Amino acid sequence: MQYRLYLLNDAREIRAAESFIADDNAYAQAISVTVFSSCSDNFCGYELWCGAEKVADDRMRSKANINWWSVMQVRQRDVLGLIDRLQRGFECVRKSQQLLDRVAELRTTGE
């Protein structure tokens, strides 16, 4: 299914957005939480949409305790692909030092 991740500023305005494919809502949410938690130094929230339906946002409580390193739930290549596209398209994403550090670490541990 096709999803869209929006990264938000403190006024809840969209600062960056990118589409991606995921098997289901749970997997799309795991990807979104992972990406957002990796660049939360530059963004205050996120929203995940599938078509006209809002699937999740940073204010919703997830039943799963998902974090950056939960590779069992989120495939590294899916997360890195989405991050790469966000970085190419948005300067505000490229400015996240936290994201740069985590991507470098993930690429090192994923080799």
pLDDT digits (tens, 9 = 90+) for 44-67: 999 999 999 999 999 986 544 444
- In this structure, of 28-37, 70-79, 86-95, the range with the lowest mean pLDDT score is 70-79
Nearest by Cα to 24 from 46, 45, 53: 53
Band the pLDDT of 77: cuts 50, 70, 90.
confident
- Note down the domain range covering 52: 2-109
What backbone phi and psi angles, to 5 degrees, belong to 99? -65, -45
Q: Please give the mean pLDDT across all residues of the chain.
A: 86
Mean pLDDT of 71-95: 84
Nearest by Cα to 87 from 72, 74, 103: 103
Its pTM stands at: 0.81
How many residues are given for the chain?
Answer: 111
pLDDT given at position 90 = 95
